């Protein structure tokens, strides 16, 4: 059991794709926790399937590394703005942060967000200029830009006097000066031991800890993770859990766990300063206080940022229900969402008392919600998802909506189109500058609903050369109506199997979402119309056969490959009268009302 002065607690924060997880790989490799012939692969901490596929960190991960006679607890945090709720809580667990900055790109929008949170909490960050071995790296410029950012965010004199080093997570070296030899990660380990303050706390005081992250185990139930603020905890010890109500619930500790490398290790006891996972409490949530049963204490609750987007999840009632999924009833969907709510506190799940066939799920952004929907889909769930809606607030009797701060970098030739499109979506330009390399940098304030679904159009307009990132800025008065999708859709008028002849005749009318041989049903969206109106089509119509055969009478048809939408693209594409049908094998688009006659009646209010 290490003494508090021999423990260092630190989190790694950065903009998305600036190399947090890769740097942690190098630290893990140098800690000699694995065999020499053990193949651990890349991005070891990204253990979740979707993290490996998307190439991003979604959940904060804990690890512990030995260095000389010190124990260094490191937490890898998500870089995407949608998962900023994870970052906010983690900062309460550590005594400093490693702020990673790309040696070429410099500070980016999410760098600003996570750094401001760290500075507000009084932490003194250590700046790591990463990827210094890249061809176009300019570490001196990036270091100056980072200092300017510290100043802009109101850092104190002590915070401005930050320690820094240069590193390459991919190659596996760190150095305090650019002219030093590139050997290994030891200089970074030494900097952490030197610059990160030891955790406060006295092992002789009564036990005290606040739950900052929650996990769930099928055998022991909910588990609370946090830093022990005071005292010592032993297996079998009686503790008190105090939630927002202020009424303590007493329980016995069944398990104490810590981290070592990629594994959890069970402990008999742990003391002040260490980060541990405690099991045994009946129910626990973020911000609850765990204290000695003889001296009950309640710490101030933790404020978590409110969700900004919501979707409605309902039972799949299409003709293809149950073809590929096993869990199709509302009871199973509700149980799965309630289980998610236990571990993912930044999601909000509400059931409508008047409508048992629908559940509203609210989150921080499209990706936040899409990760949950994709996870359920992989667990053989089948359901329908509505178009996302922004969550508005009533402030002083005026309707307010969420606003995003958008940072855009595009080649100068495309800047005019981007400005025109964002202005049409009620965006207000805050800043514009063009570098000597012909890259235009812009900042906009734009309603969240104006940004929904725009990212794909942005990549098309900029030929994939643009960068667009956004961060929640706050609430502003409602900006008025926004134009929706510019084009209509092609809707199947009958059920059946598509064929090449019908697809060939329809592809000149727009873009198809289906290919020959796909099963369709009435009311299913099979493509995008080239005009602004919806079009009923027969995508199952076969060629009329005759008994006359002659060379050249049959054309050799050439079909354009169909557009295959990802889950996020599909959710952003649909309108209010449409749904995304999510199944383990397929993602389909459909109208809420499948029958054409019923849709027309509904439009006329009959």
Residues making up the annotated binding site for GTP are 17-22, 130-133
Measure the CA–CA gap between 193 and 9, rounded to whole angstroms. 10
| Residue 100 contacts residue 19 (beta carbons within 8 Å) | yes
The enclosing H or E element of 446 equals strand 439-447
Angle between helix axes 20-30 and 186-195 (nearest 10 degrees) is: 100
| Residue reference for tokens 């570098």 | 435
Q: What would the DSSP string read from start to end of 319-335?
A: TTTTSS-SB-SHHHHHH
DSSP string spanning 35-85? Answer: -TT----S-TT--SHHHHHHTS--S-EEEEEEETTEEEEEEE---SGGGHH
DSSP E strands in 219-347: the ranges are 221-230, 232-234, 238-242, 248-252, 255-260, 263-267, 269-271, 275-279, 289-292, 309-315
Measured between alpha carbons, how far is 209 from 313 in angstroms, rounded to an integer? Answer: 36
Whole-number Å distance between alpha carbons of 388 and 484: 13
Could you identify the residue written with the tokens 């008999």? Answer: 268
DSSP 3-state assignment of 294?
coil
Pairing, β 348-352 against β 309-315: unpaired
Burial 555-570 (b: 16+ CB within 10 A, else e): eeeeeeebeebebbbb
Q: Are 69 and 296 in contact (CB under 8 A)?
A: no
Rg (CA), the chain: 27
CB-count burial class (<10 Å; 0-12, 13-18, 19+) for 108: buried
CA torsion angle for 415, 417, 422, 425 (degrees, to 10)? Answer: 180
Give the Cα separation of 203 and 353 in Å (integer): 49
Query: And the tokens for 29?
Result: 């490799």
| 563, 565, 570, 575 alpha-carbon torsion, rounded to 10° | 0
């Amino acid at each position: 059991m290490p003494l508090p002065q021999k423990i260092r607690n630190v989190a790694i924060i950065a903009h998305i794709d600036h190399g947090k997880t890769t740097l942690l790989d190098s630290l893990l490799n140098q800690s000699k926790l694995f065999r020499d012939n053990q193949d651990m692969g890349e991005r070891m901490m990204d253990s979740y399937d979707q993290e490996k596929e998307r190439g991003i960190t979604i959940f904060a991960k804990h690890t512990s590394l030995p260095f000389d006679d010190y124990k260094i607890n490191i937490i890898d945090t998500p870089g995407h703005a949608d998962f900023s709720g994870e970052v906010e809580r983690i900062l309460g667990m550590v005594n400093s942060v490693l702020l990673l900055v790309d040696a070429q790109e410099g500070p980016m929008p999410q760098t600003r967000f996570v750094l401001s949170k760290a500075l507000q909490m009084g932490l003194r960050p250590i700046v790591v200029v990463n990827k210094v071995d890249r061809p176009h790296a300019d570490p001196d410029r990036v270091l100056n830009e980072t200092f300017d950012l510290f100043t802009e965010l109101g850092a104190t004199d002590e915070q401005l006097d930050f320690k820094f080093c240069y590193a390459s997570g991919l190659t596996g070296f760190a150095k305090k000066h650019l002219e030093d030899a590139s050997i290994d990660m030891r200089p970074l380990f030494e900097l952490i031991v030197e610059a990160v303050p030891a955790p406060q706390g006295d092992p002789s005081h009564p036990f005290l800890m606040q739950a900052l992250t929650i996990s769930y185990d099928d055998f022991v139930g909910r588990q609370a993770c946090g830093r022990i603020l005071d005292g010592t905890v032993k297996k079998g010890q009686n503790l008190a859990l105090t939630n927002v109500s202020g009424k303590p619930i007493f329980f016995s500790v069944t398990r104490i766990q810590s981290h070592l490398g990629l594994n959890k290790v069970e402990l008999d006891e742990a003391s002040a300063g260490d980060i541990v996972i405690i099991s045994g409490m009946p129910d626990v949530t973020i911000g609850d206080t765990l204290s000695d049963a003889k001296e009950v204490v309640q710490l101030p609750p933790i404020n978590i940022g409110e969700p900004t987007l919501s979707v409605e999840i309902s039972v799949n009632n299409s003709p293809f229900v149950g073809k590929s999924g096993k869990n199709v009833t509302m009871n199973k969907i509700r149980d799965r969402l309630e289980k998610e709510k236990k571990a993912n506190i930044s999601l909000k799940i509400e059931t409508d008392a008047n409508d048992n066939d629908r559940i509203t799920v609210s989150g921080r952004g499209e990706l936040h919600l899409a990760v949950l929907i994709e996870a359920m889909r992989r667990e053989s769930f089948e359901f329908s998802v509505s178009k996302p809606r922004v969550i508005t607030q009533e402030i002083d009797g005026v309707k307010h909506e969420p606003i995003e701060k958008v940072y855009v970098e595009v080649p100068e030739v495309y800047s005019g189109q981007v400005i025109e499109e964002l202005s049409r979506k009620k965006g207000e330009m805050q800043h514009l500058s063009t570098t000597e390399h012909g890259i235009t940098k812009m900042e906009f304030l734009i309603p969240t609903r104006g940004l929904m679904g725009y990212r794909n159009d942005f990549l098309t307009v900029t030929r994939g050369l643009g960068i667009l990132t956004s961060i929640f800025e706050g609430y502003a008065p409602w900006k008025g109506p926004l134009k929706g999708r510019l084009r209509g859709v092609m809707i199947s008028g009958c059920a059946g199997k598509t064929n090449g002849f019908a697809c060939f005749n329809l592809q000149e009318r727009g873009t198809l979402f289906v290919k020959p041989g796909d099963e369709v049903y009435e009311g299913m969206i099979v493509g995008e119309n080239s005009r602004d109106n919806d079009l009923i089509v027969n995508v199952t119509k076969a060629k009329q056969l005759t008994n006359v055969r002659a060379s050249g009478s049959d054309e050799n048809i050439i079909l354009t490959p169909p557009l295959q939408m990802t889950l996020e693209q599909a959710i952003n594409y649909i309108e209010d009268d449409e749904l995304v049908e999510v199944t383990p094998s397929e993602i389909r688009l459909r109208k809420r009302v499948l029958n054409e006659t019923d849709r027309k009646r509904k439009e006329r209010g009959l």
